[in-house]
């Protein structure tokens, strides 16, 4: 059964994977999800690991691990959900590399009747030594992107992130698409704030989209929010030439629902 506090019940939701996707050219191949995890709706803990991954001569990483957990909060009345995905020693076609890519979402839901909006925390999320060729890209992330404009004495938001005026203003100012879905029930944005480029970048960086000739595009720290989940994809690659395909690296989803 779902976790209970008083008369309320909570169903947990968390997923994590380290790497996966598919290649269309020069051959067609599905790359199975590495270290995939799904949290039980009742909560608990899970972890997975993958080491020394290599796909042809295109993708490789030294190690990767994921973890998910769902517990009753010890700090305040409610429930805490964690989803983490980490890749170490990532190498994509000897063009894009990173020492470490970390995606992490922590959501905390209130136990108080009539409250449903969670606190959302991305602490730990980062790129370590992201490079294109010999050019280093230091990425600054806005880990407070979903910080609520108003909150109660326990820190829980008054409104869901999608309805929070402070969040909507930050998304609009950054130029992201706040109505990605046809029913306008989804917000597509990014934790990307700015980048410092050290060296000559063999390509261009516009917002959180890195375009590299002879490679394709890499979308950094993409965040998609809907009424039921927060989905963070740290590195979404749209490969164009000579390899064509779609790859995700360090992907997590988290949230949960409370009744009544």
Whether omega for the bond prior to residue 26 falls within 30 degrees of 0, making it cis, is: yes
* Separation of first and last alpha carbons in the chain: 15
How much is the pLDDT for 1?
Answer: 56
Please say whether the dihedral angle defined by the alpha carbons of residues 131, 232, 115 and 3, taken in this order, is positive or negative: negative
Contact status, residue 139 vs residue 125, Cβ threshold 8 Å: no
Residue 213 pLDDT > 70: yes
Counting the structural domains of the chain, the total is 1
Q: Could you report the per-residue pLDDT of 12-29, keeping only the tens digit for each?
A: 999 999 999 999 988 999
Q: Does 59 have pLDDT greater than 80?
A: yes
167: helix, coil or strand?
Answer: helix
On whether the pTM is more than 0.75, the answer is yes
For residue range 137-155, list pLDDT tens digits in order.
999 999 999 999 888 888 8
The arithmetic mean of pLDDT across residues 103-130, rounded, is 95
Q: Is the pLDDT of residue 32 over 60?
A: yes
Task: State which residues form the domain around 212.
Answer: 3-259
Half-sphere exposure of 18 (CA within 13 A, CB side): 25
Q: What is the mean pLDDT of residues 174-186?
A: 64
- How much is the average pLDDT of 220-238? 95
């Amino acid at each position: 059964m779902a976790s209970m506090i008083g008369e309320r019940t909570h169903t947990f939701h968390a997923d994590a994977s380290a790497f996966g996707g598919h290649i269309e050219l020069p051959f067609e191949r599905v790359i199975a999800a590495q270290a995939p995890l799904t949290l039980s709706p009742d909560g608990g803990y899970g972890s997975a690991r993958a080491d020394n991954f290599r796909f042809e001569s295109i993708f490789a990483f030294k190690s990767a691990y994921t973890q998910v957990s769902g517990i009753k909060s010890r700090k305040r009345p409610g429930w805490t959900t964690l989803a983490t995905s980490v890749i170490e020693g990532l190498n994509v076609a000897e063009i894009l590399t990173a020492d470490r890519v970390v995606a992490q979402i922590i959501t905390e839901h209130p136990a108080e009747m009539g409250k449903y909006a969670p606190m959302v925390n991305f602490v730990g999320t980062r790129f370590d030594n992201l490079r294109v060729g010999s050019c280093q890209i230091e990425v600054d992330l806005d880990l407070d992107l979903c910080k609520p404009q108003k909150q109660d004495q326990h820190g829980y938001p008054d409104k869901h992130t999608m309805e929070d005026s402070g969040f909507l203003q930050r998304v609009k100012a950054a130029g992201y698409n706040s109505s990605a879905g046809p029913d306008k029930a989804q917000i597509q944005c990014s934790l990307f704030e700015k980048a410092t480029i050290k060296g000559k970048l063999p390509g261009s960086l516009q917002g959180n989209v890195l375009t590299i000739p002879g490679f394709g595009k890499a979308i950094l720290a993409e965040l998609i929010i809907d009424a039921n989940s927060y989905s963070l994809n740290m590195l979404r690659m749209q490969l164009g030439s000579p390899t064509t395909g779609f790859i995700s690296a360090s992907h997590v989803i988290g949230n949960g629902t409370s009744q009544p």
